[in-house]
Amino acid sequence: LICTNGGKIKVSHEWNGEAMWKLEYSPHGGIFIISRNHDWHLSCDGQRLDISPSKGIGQTWILEPIMPSTISMDQITMYSSIGAATVALSVAMPFAIMGIIGGMGFTAGGISAGSIAAGMMSAEAIASGGGVAAGGTVAVLQSIGASGLGAAGFAGAMGAGGVIGASGGRLATAVMGKSEEQKNEGTSSSSNTNMAYCNWRHWE
């Protein structure tokens, strides 16, 4: 939106000094939008945009953030839920891993008799000729069960939880988007073309 020296406003694809505007507080409760080059004030009579040298109510604007019409309340709720679930899964993943490993029988006091861990140790000992190899699966799991994941393992588990949460979020977003497309298919969306911007409160 540019303001010419002759007191006209136009829409232009060019970026120059006439496209620059400044904001000043209005005593009427709001702001003035003023051409930086020509000192004209953006004005609206409720139907169309104009410019004026005056500083009255007709030149006073109130700017309010408006959410894009393409984002529904259901989508906002879904995105918030996905974010919260991703964070929660990242935090919970290390503790879940520790719980699973402990449940398998890898405990701080050693491998529990009759547990899955005992069966794994027996199978590994038979496969290796009577011993459990250092750095093998059983040895690593028992180390975690006895002393925890450690800083690197904890960070890795949190990262894995975040990846799982984000992947689930992307899937939910794709499903939601497809559902929205099917719901809106065949319906005509309201158009605000040719509606005065200053009269946006009455847009559909």
- Say what the pLDDT of residue 139 is: 84
The two three-digit tokens of residue 129, written as one number: 């000729």
- Say what the pLDDT of residue 105 is: 87
pLDDT tens for the chain, 204 residues long, are: 888 887 788 887 777 778 888 888 888 888 899 888 888 888 887 777 888 888 888 888 887 766 555 666 677 777 788 888 888 888 888 888 888 888 888 888 888 888 888 888 888 888 777 777 777 888 888 888 887 887 888 888 888 888 888 888 778 777 766 666 555 555 544 454 445 555 555 555
- Say what the pLDDT of residue 69 is: 58
- Say what the pLDDT of residue 188 is: 46
- Say what the pLDDT of residue 28 is: 85
- Say what the pLDDT of residue 199 is: 53
The two three-digit tokens of residue 51, written as one number: 């410019």
Length of the chain as a residue count = 204
